[in-house]
Amino acid sequence: MNERFIGLMSGTSLDGVDAVLVAFDAEGGLAVQADFFLPYPLEVRAQVLSLQPAGANELDRAARLGCVLAGYYAEAVNGLLKAQQLTPDAICAIGCHGQTIRHAPQAGYTLQIGNLALLAELTGIDVAGDFRSRDIAAGGQGAPLVPAFHQQLFADADKARAIVNIGGISNLTRLTPGEAVVGFDCGPGNMLMDAWIHRHQGLAYDQDGAWAAQGKVSPALLAAMLAEPYFAAPIPKSTGRDLFDLDWLDVLLAKHPTPAVDVQATLLELTAVTIAEACLKHAPASRELYLCGGGAFNRVLRQRLVVLLPAVSVSDTATLGLPVHQVEAAAFAWLARQLVCRQNSSLPEVTGATGARVLGALYPR
Ligand SMILES: Nc1ncnc2c1ncn2[C@@H]1O[C@H](COP(=O)(O)OP(=O)(O)OP(=O)(O)O)[C@@H](O)[C@H]1O
Ligand SMILES: CC(=O)N[C@H]1[C@@H]2OC[C@@H](O2)[C@@H](O)[C@@H]1O[C@H](C)C(=O)O
């Protein structure tokens, strides 16, 4: 009998909530039955961003915003249920990522806000969340978690494959037959491009990379960006807005003043180069690269990856049966199911933890 789970992803891009309804068969095989996207209003996005750096009254602001976010998560769940004409009792559990406002595995914690008790109350469905903390408690990075799901879904018995998610941050999964999975955050995905076009044009993102395509890459600025120690740091590693934000960029721009349009071109190139270098260094045998996440829609970025990786065929996960915008949310449905079944869902070879663990916390309805 099929079991239905809902996955909710609200990632570092802060664009909104991606929701999917996933049916699992008894063997764990899955099919996405529906998806739904609920954009955040600008003020929600601004409130999440304002919690990124330490600030006045932040505990109260984070807890209040967590309640607001639960409302959006519930709305996304209801959107799915309505479209599929389902009632809450048709769903085993919701897997909810929450909204990362701090990620500090070196300090022993990561923080995803979103009031999960309230989400259980609002939906009448079991809610699973806080998937990263247990891996950090076991000595890991707590991120990226999705490589375990990529392995389940996209690994091939004969072919070495690489999967790259381009969300706010980009992350690579290497799936080589007979070898341990490798996975880590490459660096900024869309996050800096989004922030820069928002500052200069008030837009949420640079559609298809069109503004970036009008500029020229500044070699000096690109070199200064690539000198960031994170890029050469050994794996396991993970990152976020804690490091890559407009303050990071402004420090570099103070030394390398650059026209705004050329900054956008250089940021796109940074994303492309760091992904390509991650593939060449950590997945050299992979002749197939599958993109997912919103950045897979960025035509200019994709073209740069094709040029930078001439020996690799670049496509996206839709080719493997899962549309690019569904992958991360589906991963959180899978994480919820693993928790409900008390099955491990972490890959210690990816995160650096001392062992595999059952991830997450459960809020029964
Ligand atoms: N047509 C497009 N052209 C360029 N960029 C796009 C396009 N469509 C979406 N994007 C980018 O994708 C982003 C959303 O991606 P996604 O939903 O994967 O992010 P996320 O869930 O926050 O991811 P993560 O958790 O991996 O950081 C947008 O903010 C935008 O930058
Ligand atoms: C701490 C955190 O929220 N990390 C996110 C972020 O967004 C992309 C990348 O950085 C990845 O490490 C992770 O999300 C995905 C879902 C993951 O854990 O695989």
11 ligand 2 Cβ < 6 A = yes
What's residue 1's pLDDT? 54
Cα 340 to averaged position of ligand 1 atoms, centre (Å): 29
Verify whether ligand 1 is closer than 6 Å to residue 169 (CB atom): yes
Residue from 242, 264, 268, 298 to probe ligand 1 pocket by mutation (most atoms less than 8 Å from CB)? 298
Query: What's the pLDDT score for residue 26?
Result: 86
Q: How far apart are the CA of 12 and the centre of ligand 1, in A?
A: 9
Which residues are CB-contacts of 15 (< 8 A; sequence separation ≥ 6)?
39, 40, 45, 204, 205, 294
Contacts of 274 (CB under 8 A, 6+ apart): 170, 186, 187, 188, 226, 231
Cβ of 293 below 6 Å from ligand 1? yes
360 is in an annotated binding site: no
Residues 6+ apart with CB under 8 A from 22: 4, 5, 6, 7, 30, 31, 32, 33, 330, 333, 334
Domain boundaries, the chain: 3-141+329-363, 146-320
**Residue 15, annotated ligand binder?**
yes
**Ligand 2: residue whose CA is nearest its atom 4:** 143
Distance (Å) from CA 87 to ligand 1 centroid: 30
Q: Hey, which CATH number is domain 146-320, 3.40.50.300, 3.30.420.40, 3.40.190.10, 3.40.640.10?
A: 3.30.420.40
* Residue 246 annotated as part of some ligand binding site: no
Q: Is 146 in the pocket of ligand 2 (CB under 6 A)?
A: yes
Note the Cα 339 to chain centre separation in Å. 20
**Atom nearest to 110 CA in ligand 2:** 1
Q: Is 4 left (phi over 0), alpha (psi -120 to 50) or beta?
A: beta
Percent helix, strand and coil across the chain, each to the nearest 5: 45, 20, 35
Q: To test the ligand 1 pocket, which listed residue (190, 271, 304) has its Cβ within 8 A of the most ligand atoms?
A: 190
Q: pLDDT 10s digit of each residue in the chain, 365 long?
A: 579 999 999 999 999 999 999 999 988 799 999 999 999 999 999 999 999 999 999 999 999 999 999 999 999 999 999 999 999 999 999 999 999 999 999 999 999 999 999 999 999 999 999 999 999 999 999 999 999 999 999 999 999 999 999 999 999 999 999 999 999 999 999 999 999 999 999 999 999 999 999 999 999 999 999 999 999 999 999 999 999 999 999 999 999 999 999 999 999 999 999 999 999 999 999 999 999 999 999 999 999 999 999 999 999 999 999 999 999 999 999 999 999 999 999 999 999 999 999 999 999 99
Is 347 marked as binding a ligand?
Answer: no
Query: Fold for domain 3-141+329-363?
Result: Nucleotidyltransferase; domain 5 (3.30.420)
**Considering only CA atoms, which residue is closest to atom 10 of ligand 2?**
169
Which ligand 1 atom minimizes the distance to the CA of 209? Answer: 4
Counting atoms of ligand 2 from 1, which one is nearest the CA of 189? 8
17 annotated as ligand-binding = yes
Pairing label, strands 161-166, 288-292? parallel
Q: Do domains 3-141+329-363 and 146-320 have the same CATH topology?
A: yes
| Ligand 2, pocket-test mutation among 100, 109, 112, 271, most atoms within 8 A of CB | 100
Rounded to the nearest angstrom, the distance between the alpha carbon of 38 and the centre of ligand 1 is: 13
Model pLDDT, residue 28: 79
Ligand (nearest to CA of 193): 1
SS3 168: coil
ipTM over 0.90: yes
184 touches ligand 1 (CB under 6 Å): no
Whole-number pLDDT of residue 27: 84
The pLDDT assigned to 255 comes to 98
The Cα 195–Cα 166 span in angstroms is 15
3-state DSSP of 263-281: HHHHHHHHHHHHHHHHHHH
- The answer to whether 353 touches 140, Cβ cutoff 8 Å, is yes
Identify the DSSP state of 246. H
Q: Cα(191) to centroid of ligand 1, in Å?
A: 8
Any binding-site annotation on 12? Answer: yes
